[in-house]
């Protein structure tokens, strides 16, 4: 029996029980669709991380208070106040490999404008923060040295804050209140969209860091220092010199650990992408279980089909069909069922990822390689779970099969 005839018989057999065939394929459809959608989410997260890191530049470093313990957990989080704004000035002035450095303080605050209020991330920054993070000003101006020296009550607001507090009105020179303290809006940031972590970068209010220290938080330390090296090639040099300078400034002896941690964006990107990879593998593995369940469903239905068609098998053997012909017919039926389910599942997975991208604003990226692997795997599931029913059909005794009612 040639392959074309075997395929035709398999399609005819599946067509006779359309609903049963579809329900059998449903496990494969859901499994393949879920695998593609879940991996697309992971790949989208990795792509977003790469683009965000590229937009920030690979020459950005972050200084955090506290040190890394074994296992990578920063010690003393929340209780370590080892960084000062003078550390940022020293880094900027004394290290030639550094072009900009800015103290940073962050806290979620309720911002009020008129009778409207909005919860947003309030950041205390220095003028250099604009160059480090490549923030563009849509209107007005950014923080400058005069605002820093006087701890001025001025604010630069992001697009999301503008939309929620001012709508279509021009917010420049308007007054907003944070902790019942009035701030004059002097600038509006250009839109940036979502960050690599999926947070809205435009949902922010920036004020002078000295204002944040004295008027909102009543502290003298800073939560972090962001630094921009002269170039990506000099990041390691800048990191080494910063470490030496801060150890000297903090009077850390040679036998003591650093009371700070310096991270560059390459380290952060690697950690974030590693997390995204683990997430993609876990999600894909969970979805892959559906494929196995679908394969078991195919095996069950094929066993039922062998029982139902026992007499047909006996007649075919009586007129000359060999055992391998019978086996091939049932194996092809299982593979066709699994491959068809895989094809529909691919369309479902791609469609689901597009829906997530458009409606949930979740970054997704469908990889051609995972589509190919998912389709081939669905075919392999058909072969694996179809083999036993096909083997059983091929070993039936023709005489006993003809007697079967």
Give the model confidence (pLDDT) of 28-55 as tens digits.
898 888 888 888 887 887 777 766 666 6
Q: Check whether residue 297 and residue 389 sit in a common domain.
A: yes
Q: Check whether residue 115 and residue 208 sit in a common domain.
A: yes
Domain end: 201, 235, 258, which one? 258
**Whole-number Å distance between alpha carbons of 392 and 377:** 23
**How confident is residue 363, by pLDDT bands cut at 50, 70 and 90?**
confident
Domain end: 205, 233, 258, which one? 258
Q: Check whether residue 203 and residue 86 sit in a common domain.
A: yes
Q: Check whether residue 251 and residue 280 sit in a common domain.
A: no
Q: Check whether residue 89 and residue 35 sit in a common domain.
A: no
Q: Check whether residue 91 and residue 201 sit in a common domain.
A: yes
Q: Tell me the three state secondary structure of residue 302.
A: helix
- Residue carrying the six token digits 């150890």: 247
Q: Check whether residue 113 and residue 248 sit in a common domain.
A: yes
Residues 6+ apart with CB under 8 A from 289: 31
Q: How many domains does the chain have?
A: 2
The answer to the question of residue 74 being in a domain is: no
The answer to the question of residue 130 being in a domain is: yes
Q: What is the mean pLDDT of residues 347-372?
A: 86
- Scored b (16 or more CB within 10 A) or e, 322-357 reads eeeebbbbbbbbbbbbbbbbbbbbbebbbebbeebb
Nearest C-alpha neighbor of 264 from the set 63, 18, 76, 400: 63
Q: Check whether residue 166 and residue 315 sit in a common domain.
A: no
**Whole-number Å distance between alpha carbons of 131 and 217:** 25
Residue 96 CA, chain-centre distance (Å), reads 36
Range of the domain at 130: 81-258
Q: Check whether residue 186 and residue 97 sit in a common domain.
A: yes
The answer to the question of residue 73 being in a domain is: no
Nearest C-alpha neighbor of 88 from the set 68, 63, 59: 63
Q: Tell me the three state secondary structure of residue 322.
A: coil
- Scored b (16 or more CB within 10 A) or e, 204-240 reads bbbbbbbbbbebbbeeebbbbbbbbbbeeebbebbbe
Q: Check whether residue 148 and residue 236 sit in a common domain.
A: yes
Asked which of 118-122, 174-178, 183-187, 326-330 is least confident by mean pLDDT, the reply is: 326-330
The answer to the question of residue 289 being in a domain is: yes
Q: Check whether residue 276 and residue 353 sit in a common domain.
A: yes
Domain end: 202, 223, 258, which one? 258
Task: Give pLDDT tens digits for 87-103.
Answer: 999 999 999 999 999 99
Indicate whether 298 pLDDT > 90: no
Q: Check whether residue 284 and residue 345 sit in a common domain.
A: yes
The answer to the question of residue 212 being in a domain is: yes
pTM, entire model? 0.61
Both structure tokens of 152: 């001025």
The answer to the question of residue 63 being in a domain is: no
Residue 340 CA, chain-centre distance (Å), reads 30
The answer to the question of residue 76 being in a domain is: no
């Amino acid at each position: 029996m040639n392959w074309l005839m075997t395929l035709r018989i398999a399609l005819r057999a599946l067509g006779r029980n359309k609903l049963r065939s579809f329900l059998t394929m449903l496990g494969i459809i859901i499994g393949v669709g879920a695998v593609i959608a879940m991996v697309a989410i992971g790949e989208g997260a990795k792509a977003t991380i790469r683009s965000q890191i590229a937009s920030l530049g690979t020459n950005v470093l972050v200084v955090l208070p506290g040190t890394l313990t074994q296992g990578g957990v920063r010690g003393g989080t929340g209780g370590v106040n080892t960084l000062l704004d003078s550390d940022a000035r020293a880094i900027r002035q004394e290290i030639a490999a550094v072009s900009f450095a800015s103290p940073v303080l962050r806290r979620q605050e309720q911002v009020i404008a008129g009778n409207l209020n909005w919860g947003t991330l309030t950041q205390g920054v220095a003028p250099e923060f604009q160059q480090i993070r490549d923030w563009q000003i849509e209107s007005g101006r950014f923080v400058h040295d005069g605002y820093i020296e006087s701890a001025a009550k001025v604010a630069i607001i992001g697009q999301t804050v503008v939309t929620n507090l001012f709508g279509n009105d021009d917010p420049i020179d308007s007054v907003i209140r944070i902790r019942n303290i009035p701030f004059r809006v002097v600038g509006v940031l250009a839109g940036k969209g979502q960050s690599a972590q999926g947070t809205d970068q435009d949902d922010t209010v920036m004020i002078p860091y000295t204002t944040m220290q004295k008027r909102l938080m009543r502290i003298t330390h800073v939560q972090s220092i962001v630094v921009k090296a002269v170039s990506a090639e000099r990041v390691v040099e800048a990191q080494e010199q910063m470490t030496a300078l801060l150890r000297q400034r903090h009077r850390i002896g040679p036998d003591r650990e650093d009371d700070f941690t310096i991270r560059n964006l390459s380290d952060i990107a690697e950690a974030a992408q590693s997390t995204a990879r683990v997430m993609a593998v876990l999600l894909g593995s969970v979805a892959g279980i559906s494929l196995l369940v679908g394969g078991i469903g195919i095996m069950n239905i094929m066993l039922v089909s062998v029982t139902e068609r026992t007499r047909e098998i006996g007649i075919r053997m009586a007129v000359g069909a060999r055992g391998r012909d019978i086996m091939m017919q049932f194996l092809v039926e299982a593979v066709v069922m699994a491959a068809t389910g895989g094809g529909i599942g691919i369309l479902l997975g791609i469609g689901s990822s597009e829906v997530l991208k458009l409606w949930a604003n979740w970054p997704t990226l469908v990889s051609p390689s995972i589509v190919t692997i998912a389709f081939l795997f669905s075919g392999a599931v058909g072969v694996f779970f179809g083999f036993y029913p096909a083997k059983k059909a091929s070993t039936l005794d023709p005489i006993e099969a003809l007697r079967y009612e």
